[in-house]
Amino acid sequence: MGIFTTLRLRFFIICLIFAGLTFAIGPLGSLQELAAQPIQDAPLSTPSRWRPEQGTWQPVPSHREDFGKIKVVWLQGAPYEMGYQHGTLLHDEIASMGQEAIASLNFLGRGLALGRLARRRSFPDVVQECEGLAAATEDIGLTLDGCMVLALGDVYQEYLTYLIPNILFNDGCAHFVVSGDATADGQMYHGWTLDNNSEPIQYWIDHPTILVRQTNEGIPHVFITIPGVVWPNAGFNAEGIVVSNNTSYPLDYEDLSLQGKSTVQLMAQVAKQASTYEEAYAIMASHERMRSNLVIISDAKSSQAGVFELLGREMGVRELNQDGLLYMTNHFVSPEMVGRDTSTESSLTRFRSFQQLLEPDGSRSRYGEITPEVVVEILRDRTHPDTTEISPFEVFDDNASIGGNGSLRQVVFDPQRLRFWVAAGETPIPDNPFTCFSLSEMLGLPNAEPCPSPAIN
C-alpha cells in the first residue's frame, strides 16, 4: 500500500473517530461551531521590557548549542521572529516527527477546523509565533494550522486523545517544592519528573529541548519542552518564578469551559509576565480553562508556592505549608476540588511516596537535609511505598514509584540562584547525570552565578 493511500485511509478512520467523539461529547457541540463562538476572556496586562535590578542587559543573539542530547536554543525578538528562529534552528528535529505525523496535524488543523479553533482560543503572541515557525518549516510541510493544533495540544489531548499523533503528548508527572526548615540551607528547591504511561515516547527521549526565550516585552525565561511546540512543560524566568504542570482528567466534562484557554499557554504567560507569586496567581485566575489540569508555581523570593487544581471555571489552590512542603501527582487534593477528577492508583501511590520522603514524620523522611543532590535522590526513588519493593531499572513504568513511573525528563530548580539541572538521555532517564545550567549565564545577566559543577551524577 502506497504512502498516500495509507494516509488517506488514516484520515478516513480519523474522520469516523472524530465524528463519534463529537457526538459523544454532546453538550460540547461541534468543534466547528465552537470555533465561531465569541471569546469572553479577561485581557492580561501588557508586559513591559524587562531590566535586571542591577546593571544593564541586552538579549543574547539567537543561536543553538548542544549539551549531549540536550538542545539549547536561544530565541530573541518579536513572537514571529522567535517562531522563525525556533523552526530554523530545530528544523531537522521537527522533521523527524515524520511525514505521517505532520500530515495528520495539518489535516486535523485545516480539515477538521482545529487550527481555526486554536487560533481563536490562543493568545495573540502564540499565533504569531506559530506563523514564524510554520514559515521556517514550510519545506517539510508543517503548516500554520498544524502548528496551531500543537499550540492547543493539551486541550485536544483532553478531548481527542486518539486523534493526536502519540509521539507528541505525555501523560503523568510528579512535582514537589521544599523550603525553609525542609532544606539543609533554608533555600527553596523545586523538583519535577515528566512521565508517560507504559512506554517511552521516542521523540521526547531523542529531543530534550531548552528554549531560552528573550521576548521584546516581558521577562526573559526558559521553556523545557520539545521541538515544534510553543509552550512549556515547565517554565523558569529571570525573576525566579518556576511553573510546571501535571495531567489530570475531569470526572464530568461539563465542568470544563468552552470559552477557556489552554493551560500550557497560561503557563507560558506566567513565565513571560510574572515577577511574583501574586502576579502568577492572578494570571492563572484570569481566564477560564478548556481542560482540567494541575499546575504548580513557586517563588523563592517570597518563599511562596501553590498547586493550582483546575477545572473550567473553578480553581482550588493548595499552598506551601508551615513545614515548607508542597507536592502533587495526578489527582486533586484541595477541599474545593477533591473527588472531581479521575484519580488513579498510580497517582495515589506516588503521593504516598512523597509523604514518606518529605514529611517530617515520614518513614523514609529526608526532611531538613534536602539539597539539590537530595532532590535528585528523591526523583530517582524506585521504592513502592507500601511493599518497599524496589523496581528494577529495566522496568520503564511500574506505576508505583516516583523514579519508575515512565520518566521522560527530570529537572531540579534552584530558583534563588537561577540554576537548574536536567536529566535526559536514554532510559531510565533518572539514572542519567543531571546537567547543570545557570539561567543568569545563559541570559548574560550582570553578576551571573555559574554552576558549581557540570552535573549531579
Instruction: Give Cα 145 to chain centroid, integer Å.
Output: 21
The residue assigned the cell 510554520 is 134
Query: CA-CA distance, 113 to 117, in Å (whole number)?
Result: 6
Whether 33 shows a pLDDT value over 70: the answer reads no
Query: CA-CA distance, 80 to 128, in Å (whole number)?
Result: 5
- The three-state secondary structure class of 176 is strand
Q: What pLDDT does residue 162 have?
A: 57
Contact 149, 134 (CB under 8 A): no
Whether 47 shows a pLDDT value over 80: the answer reads no
Residue 343: which pLDDT band, with cuts at 50, 70 and 90? confident
Residue 24: which pLDDT band, with cuts at 50, 70 and 90? very low
Q: What pLDDT does residue 149 have?
A: 95
| Minimum mean pLDDT range among 54-58, 157-161, 288-292 | 157-161
Task: Name which residue leads in pLDDT, 408 or 167.
Answer: 408
Q: Which of 40, 32, 41, 46 is nearest to 118 (CA)?
A: 32
Amino acid at 253: Y
Structural domain spans, the chain: 174-448
What pTM was estimated for this model as a whole?
Answer: 0.89
| Minimum mean pLDDT range among 5-9, 71-75, 308-312 | 5-9
Average of pLDDT values for 277-285?
A: 96
Task: Please give the C-alpha separations between residue 116 and each of 9, 267, 354, in angstroms, as whole numbers.
Answer: 24, 22, 42
Residue 128: which pLDDT band, with cuts at 50, 70 and 90? very high
Query: CA-CA distance, 347 to 305, in Å (whole number)?
Result: 21
What value does the mean pLDDT of the chain take?
A: 88
Query: CA-CA distance, 82 to 261, in Å (whole number)?
Result: 22
Contact 34, 155 (CB under 8 A): no
Residue 35: which pLDDT band, with cuts at 50, 70 and 90? very low
| Minimum mean pLDDT range among 15-24, 76-85, 314-323 | 15-24
Residue % of the chain over a pLDDT of 90: 75
- Residues shown for the chain: 457
pLDDT, tens only, 368-394: 999 999 999 999 999 999 999 999 988
The helix-helix angle for 263-273 and 277-285 (nearest 10°) equals 150
What's the CATH superfamily of 174-448? Penicillin V Acylase; Chain A (3.60.60.10)
